[in-house]
Amino acid sequence: MAADSAKTVLITGGAGFIGSNLAERLLEEAGTRVRIFDNLSRRGVRRNLDWLRSKADRTRLEILEADVRDAAAVRRAARDVSEIYHLAAQVAVTTSVTDPRTDFEINAMGTFHVLEAARASGRQPFVLFTSTNKVYGSLEGVPVKVRGTRYVAQSTKFSGVDEGELLDFHSPYGCSKGAADQYVRDYARIYGLDTVVFRMSCIAGPRQFGNEDQGWVAHFLYSVLEGRTITVCGDGFQVRDVLHVHDLIDAMMAVRAARKRTRGQVYNLGGGMSRAVSVVELLRECERRTGMPLRLDYTAVRPGDQPLYISDTHKLESQAGWKARRSIDAILEDIEQFWHQHREAISGESAARAAYLQPSAALEREVA
């Protein structure tokens, strides 16, 4: 990668689950310096930074404790970079309902600050923004039925949700991320920035500490391993497609490499049809893997919960040459290994938060 030598890359939210995995990959590139911009507000992220420090030369890893709501700090961080991966976000639907102003300031204004900083730098950096499938709302246009232990689309032609799906910003979180999503896309058209938007489904893998806002797959597996009760909202037949975080990083690298084709584009990203799983199916797989009995409580379904969301990733595959490679079994294996390696820390985080997490709330969250 001679053309990319001596470059500096900015990752907002870089101490989080996805950010730390991305930083690890970028640090493998000779001559690449990684600048992490994070307010360090989430549990577990300082451990991620310690892990990155153990893997990187200090001259190649820079950590800035700052917030995307601070426009001046964002501008300083972006002044000399050639790539920006904007992952910093308020990620919980429930939190956005309780505090919509903070949600807007972080997700919408924070993204605007990143875009303006990129424009002001004069370096035309590549900018990738992680959006969410929640921009499509409740998907009322995809009627479902129950088959076995999951919801399936009534139409036999359904192959996932593609980028042509109508936008329906449902909830303050959907509005703030959706507004940011559209700003990122438009800055390619109006200002010529090389921007890309990923509308992501469920991302899972190592370095998830299983907090409420860091992924329902890890939370379920950790809960089973630790013998904790899990509350299932509704029948548990809700379906999501799951993607390994390393497959996500592969996708980021693929759109960067193909930036002449991918600039200004929006891509749906998830595990697709072959990696779709329902809540109860995943729970049963956790039980099988661990040999630990499930402890479940059932309650009413949450209003507005999507019964079925599966990404159609054909656009990304055709334009960037990317394909998901890791199975759900491999995802669970990597998460379980991470738990065994960091059991004390993960169990400590579990004890510090509520005794249970409603799965549908977890399904409404985006990992950052």
What is the tens place of the pLDDT at every residue in 248-284? 999 999 999 999 999 999 999 999 999 999 999 999 9
Q: Which residue has the tokens 């499509």?
A: 136
Does any domain span residue 246? yes
Domain that holds residue 292: 2-363
Residue 359 has pLDDT above 80, yes or no: no
- H-only helix segments in the chain: 17-27, 45-55, 71-78, 93-98, 100-104, 110-121, 171-191, 216-225, 245-257, 259-262, 279-290, 314-320, 328-341, 343-352, 359-363
Q: Classify residue 212: in a domain, yes or no.
A: yes
pLDDT at 24 over 90: yes
- Is the pLDDT at 86 greater than 60, yes or no? yes
**Percentage, residues of the chain above pLDDT 70:** 91
Query: Which residue type is seen at 85?
Result: Y
| pLDDT exceeds cutoff 50 at 77 | yes
Active site residue 191: no
- Do the domain assignments include residue 368? no
pLDDT of residue 299: 87
* Catalytic residue (choose from 85, 136, 151, 173): 173
Task: Give percent of the chain with pLDDT exceeding 90.
Answer: 78
pLDDT, position 303: 58
Q: How many domains does the chain have?
A: 1
Q: What pTM was estimated for this model as a whole?
A: 0.91
Averaged over 2-17, what is the pLDDT?
A: 83
Q: Is a pLDDT exceeding 50 seen at residue 4? A: no
Q: Which of 87 and 58 is assigned the larger pLDDT?
A: 87
In a domain, 350, yes or no: yes
Is 2 a residue whose pLDDT tops 80?
A: no
Q: Are 222 and 350 in contact (CB under 8 A)?
A: yes
CA distances from 126 to 1, 121, 223, 252 (A): 16, 12, 39, 11
| pLDDT at residue number 358 | 42
Supply the mean pLDDT for the chain.
90
What's the pLDDT at 233?
82
Nearest-angstrom CA–CA distance, 14 and 244: 18
For range 231-242, the mean pLDDT = 92
pLDDT interval class at 116 (50, 70, 90): very high
Q: How confident is the model at residue 50 (pLDDT cuts 50, 70, 90)?
A: very high
Read off the CATH number of the domain in which 197 is found: 3.40.50.720
Residue 316 in any domain: the answer is yes
Q: Is residue 157 included in any domain, yes or no?
A: yes
pLDDT above 70 (res 360): no
Contact 195, 264 (CB under 8 A): yes
184 lies in some domain: yes
**Arithmetic mean of pLDDT, 35-45:** 91
Residue 272 lies in a domain: yes
Q: At what angle do helices 17-27 and 245-257 cross, to 10 degrees?
A: 50
**Residue 11 pLDDT greater than 80, yes or no:** yes
